[in-house]
Amino acid sequence: MNLVTKTLLSTSILLALSACTSQPLNNAAIIIKHAQILPMDGKTEIIEDGTIVIQGNRIIAIGDASIVKGYSADQVIDARGKIVMPGMINGHTHIGMTAFRGLGESGVENRLKQVMFPLEKEMLDRDLIRTASRQAAMEMALAGTTTISDMYYHQDEVATAVAQVGIRGVMGETVIGFPVVDAKQPYGGLEYAEQFIQQWKGHELITPAVAPHAPYTVSAEFLVKSKQLADKYDVPLLTHLAEFRWEDAGVRKFSKQMRDGQSVVEYLASLDVLDDKLVAAHMNYLDADDMALVKQHNVGVVHCPKSNLKGANGQTPAWEMHNHGIDLGIGTDGPMSSNQNDVLTVMSYTAMNARTIHKDNSKFSPYELVELATIGGARALNMQDDIGSLEVGKKADIVIFETDSPNMQPNYDPFSTIAFSAYPQNVEYTIVNGKMIVEKGELVTVDLAEHNIEWRKVTDKVGNFAKTLK
């Protein structure tokens, strides 16, 4: 045996030995490495130089740089210099209205009567709702929103658009006491909702729900019927609650069942509508007794400060609800009320609203704001076992922010960077249910050219009609 043969032989023996002794790599779909991770798992700790491993639709490992050695993946994201956190949750929206955004913003005495009602009466149809919902879902995916809770009409079209973009949606079909686009009879939405639930229950991204609009547009009888439908199918019940200063008096006039001295929250409690299935948007006008009821029944609350402030209604006791341990999330409300559909910027409005009310700039720390936008929203929607934090076994709903842009520097405290400095444009990747839907800042799930043709058709029609409104 010559020297070369001997060397080759010993090398191959060594290679064979090392193959026997080294651990085989576990296959994964996506590995995110070298990231600054905000797990939002109940602790304020940040994982520096962290790794997240995704297999199927779930997170299978999360930790420091050492865990990356055990895995191989088709897609590896080097997240050096990037902030990685749970996808954000927009707890209250009406995205089908996005085609009307920006109309009637000035010079209109009664926006509801002069602009909104005529637009909804004349313009709403399935095509508009689906196209407008797709436009908004794209906007939200690009801004790192991975779950929304929405109330509107033809909610099957909203669900179709949301699922196509690839984000998660709790979709509440509206029940309301007058004829609307998808129900010729008052309260026809209840029947529509049942069919919608039957069609969509079990979908991997969509949770169908029932949405009685508000206690001033839905009678006691139909509030109860909506609740019974939600119970029958074990789905969420979405509503607007205690939104307006006049609401207690208004509902008392509207409903004989609401007794003198009762608040609207007490009225709903007397109807047995309050429970952990209920997601109540706004809750601007409630006292300590109401808050105790909300907490006692585990009602989820969604605070919409941007919409409340724009509508000169910004007095929500959000800090008090947070301190009561109420399951509190944040939302944009509809695009007629707060225009931007992203929930990212709602974090700073939440702080500003509470700090102005309390004249105290310590209300809502950056960590607490990120909590509201992630795990807080998940708790409000009763989805905390699956989403809202980055933990092994949870669904892989993840957003990755770059920090190279001027507005993202310096990044001394990533919670503060996200809550107060970030713009939607700083989102680089959005992953929902283990699937990449935004990659390097581009949406990869929708054919934009095709969508834009439909969008232009819809907005040309709405724009022409809007010129006739006075």
Question: Distance between CA 468 and CA 470 in Å, rounded?
Answer: 6
The SS3 call for residue 370 is helix
Q: Is 428 in the site for Zn ion (CB under 5 A)?
A: no
Query: What's the sign of the alpha-carbon dihedral 427, 428, 430, 431?
Result: negative
Q: Is 243 in the site for Zn ion (CB under 5 A)?
A: no
Binding residues for Zn ion restricted to 295-334, rule: CB under 5 A: 333
Nearer to Zn ion, 73 or 318 (CB): 318
Sheet of 145-152, strand order: 88-93, 145-152, 168-175, 206-212, 237-241, 278-282, 300-303, 327-330
Give min distance, CB of 332 to Zn ion, in A: 9
Question: Distance between CA 381 and CA 278 in Å, rounded?
Answer: 8
- Indicate the pairing of strand 300-303 with strand 327-330: parallel
Six token digits for residue 140: 């939200």
The SS3 call for residue 175 is strand
Residue 363 C-alpha from the chain's centroid: 23
User: What's the Cα-to-Cα distance from 241 to each of 81, 267, 273, 321, rounded to whole Å?
Assistant: 42, 11, 12, 14
With contacts defined by CB under 5 A, how many residues of the chain interact with Zn ion?
1
Query: Do residues 39 and 54 touch, judged by C-beta distance below 8 A?
Result: no
Nearer to Zn ion, 327 or 333 (CB): 333
Nearer to Zn ion, 156 or 333 (CB): 333
Give min distance, CB of 307 to Zn ion, in A: 7
Nearer to Zn ion, 139 or 150 (CB): 150
Give min distance, CB of 174 to Zn ion, in A: 10
Q: What phi, psi does 207 have (nearest 5°)?
A: -110, 105
Six token digits for residue 328: 């509190």
Binding residues for Zn ion restricted to 109-168, rule: CB under 5 A: none
Give min distance, CB of 279 to Zn ion, in A: 11
Site map (CB under 5 A) of Zn ion, residues 182-221, x = contact: ----------------------------------------
Nearer to Zn ion, 283 or 446 (CB): 283
Nearer to Zn ion, 63 or 250 (CB): 250
Give min distance, CB of 180 to Zn ion, in A: 15
Q: Is 173 in the site for Zn ion (CB under 5 A)?
A: no
Nearer to Zn ion, 244 or 319 (CB): 244
Question: Distance between CA 448 and CA 381 in Å, rounded?
Answer: 31
Nearer to Zn ion, 93 or 426 (CB): 93
Question: Distance between CA 31 and CA 11 in Å, rounded?
Answer: 32
Nearer to Zn ion, 147 or 426 (CB): 147
Give min distance, CB of 456 to Zn ion, in A: 27
Nearest to 169 by CA among 274, 273, 94: 94
Give residue 143's identity as a one-letter amino acid code: A
Give min distance, CB of 155 to Zn ion, in A: 14
CB count within 10 Å of CB 468 equals 8
Binding residues for Zn ion restricted to 97-116, rule: CB under 5 A: none
Give min distance, CB of 213 to Zn ion, in A: 9
Give min distance, CB of 314 to Zn ion, in A: 15
The residue number with the shortest CB distance to Zn ion is 333
Site map (CB under 5 A) of Zn ion, residues 25-44, x = contact: --------------------
Nearer to Zn ion, 333 or 402 (CB): 333
Site map (CB under 5 A) of Zn ion, residues 333-362, x = contact: x-----------------------------
Q: Is 247 in the site for Zn ion (CB under 5 A)?
A: no
Burial label for 46, CB within 10 Å (0-12, 13-18, 19+), is: middle
User: What's the Cα-to-Cα distance from 401 to each of 82, 266, 422, 427, rounded to whole Å?
Assistant: 6, 43, 8, 4
β-bridge partners, 398: 86, 431
Give min distance, CB of 448 to Zn ion, in A: 28
Nearer to Zn ion, 149 or 389 (CB): 149
Give min distance, CB of 334 to Zn ion, in A: 6
> Interface residues with Zn ion (CB under 5 A)?
333
